Amino acid sequence: MSLSPIHLTEKDTNVEPKRTDSSPPGDLVQHQAAALDPEATPTPEPAAKPDGGFVAWMQVVGGFLLFFNSWGILSAFGVFQTTYESGTLFKQSSSNISWIGAIQYCIAMMTGFWAGPVYDRGYMRVLLVIGTVCVVVGHVLLSFCHPYWEVLLAEGFLIGTGAGCLFLVCISTLPQYFDKNLGLAAGIASSGSSFGGLVYPVALYHLVDHVGFSWAVRVVGLIALATLMVPLFAMKARGKPGRPRSFVDWEAFKDARYMTFVAGTMCGSASVLILNTYISYFGKNEQLLDGPMSFYIVSVFNAASCAGRILPNFISDTLGPFNILAPFMFITGAAALCMTAVHSEGAIIAMAVVLGFLSGVFPSMPPVCFARLTKDKSKIGTRMGMGYSMSSLGYLAGAPGAGAILGSVAPLQWTGLWVYCGMASFASGLIYAAIRISNTGWKIRIKA
């Protein structure tokens, strides 16, 4: 009796056939990530980033105008600080007035906490609309405000929220289109804030003289509305949105480099806001600048920062962002200490140029660093939002703290204010340098 061989099929044995193809390692990583955290399933990145081309550079143009109407408007707060110090609208101490700008900056950053995940879900256009409405309506309401608390709500909270939405869209969109040229693209886009900081103070000064404060603020709102039409129609996210994820990436809190970078950005935020808020009032209070120049000095500062945003970012594509950011913050701290020796109009103008250029690297470089520190690119929006939300606490410690040191009784303590500013910048540079060394060691000639 002969036994016929038994033929088992793959279906009968339920054994998975051996794979003959070689799947890319990225597929395996994505499947493992999905198994560990179903809510954090990453969105597959498009095959290759354009790194140029008409559509990609239109995102840069749109980003330029987003920065123009977010950080450009916020950068002009030095003009509002000087105007409010005159007491024509309301009477408050220098520290209380600076809370308006500090809250404006802080809200702009903390908006990313909820705007980042919203962006990741594919609602970029909604964020653009919300940001545009808040900025425009905020200026209209500000034109009718008189008491301190009304100005705080309109300028601090509403305009700050709108600026945060616009800013988040820009920094989250550019990394989707650029890789090797990301530093240059981010630098060009962020120079819009310098351009806005150049245009808006001059416009406000002349408009206030001709039509009054209320109509001057309304015109600023109209300028914002007109220029925001371009990003509303030109900007778009690449690829399809991923599955809904939580508003917080809890793994980020376990990332030592990421959290350390947030701490450094917190210190840098305090330093840069002090420079932007008080350089105009310093010149006027110390009688170094006449009426018009005390307003124009803000434009000088922001014009210089425009070069500080583009040139260092261009170099960072070759040297690496941390090799640029750390030394620039050290030098900014040294320059801030030099403000204690400024006693003439020429000296303060020269220092405005130097400090503007040096501090210009700070707003434009952290987005590039956040992108470098985020391995899962589908979480860029969430991680940037979290990072900026946490680091925004530095703004609350910056200008208001400096105002408390300055005091309200003559003679004002300007030396203490500039030392506080310089130390915050030094601390930021030290932290960034520590991250750089942690990443690449003590080697000098290496991209980091």
Is 447 within the bounds of a domain?
Answer: no
Is 361 within the bounds of a domain?
Answer: yes
Is 414 within the bounds of a domain?
Answer: yes
**Alpha carbon distance 109, 393 (integer Å):** 9
* Cβ contact 142:217 at 8 Å: yes
pTM of the predicted model as reported, rounded to 2 decimal places: 0.77
> Looking at residue 245, what is its pLDDT?
58
**Alpha carbon distance 365, 343 (integer Å):** 32
The number of distinct structural domains making up the chain is: 1
Q: 414 falls in which pLDDT band (50, 70, 90)? A: very high
Q: H or E element: which one contains 280? A: helix 256-285
Is 15 within the bounds of a domain?
Answer: no
Is 231 within the bounds of a domain?
Answer: yes
Is 274 within the bounds of a domain?
Answer: yes
Is 278 within the bounds of a domain?
Answer: yes
Express each pLDDT in 179-191 by its tens digit.
Answer: 878 878 887 888 8
**Alpha carbon distance 332, 421 (integer Å):** 9
Mean pLDDT for all residues in the chain: 82
- Dmax over CA atoms of the chain, in Å, equals 117
Express each pLDDT in 178-232 by its tens digit.
Answer: 887 887 888 788 888 878 888 898 888 888 888 888 999 999 999 999 999 999 9
> Looking at residue 424, what is its pLDDT?
95
Express each pLDDT in 109-155 by its tens digit.
Answer: 888 778 877 887 888 999 999 999 999 999 999 999 989 999 999 99
Pick 125 or 26 by higher pLDDT: 125
Express each pLDDT in 48-69 by its tens digit.
Answer: 777 778 888 999 999 999 999 9
Is 398 within the bounds of a domain?
Answer: yes
Packed helices 94-110 and 256-285: angle between N→C axes, nearest 10 degrees: 150
Task: Give the type of residue at 403.
Answer: G
Residue 279 belongs to a domain with what CATH number? 1.20.1250.20
Look-up of token digits 């690496």: 320
Give residue 291's domain range.
Answer: 48-238+246-440
Give which of 235, 221, 416 is closest to 336, Cα–Cα: 416
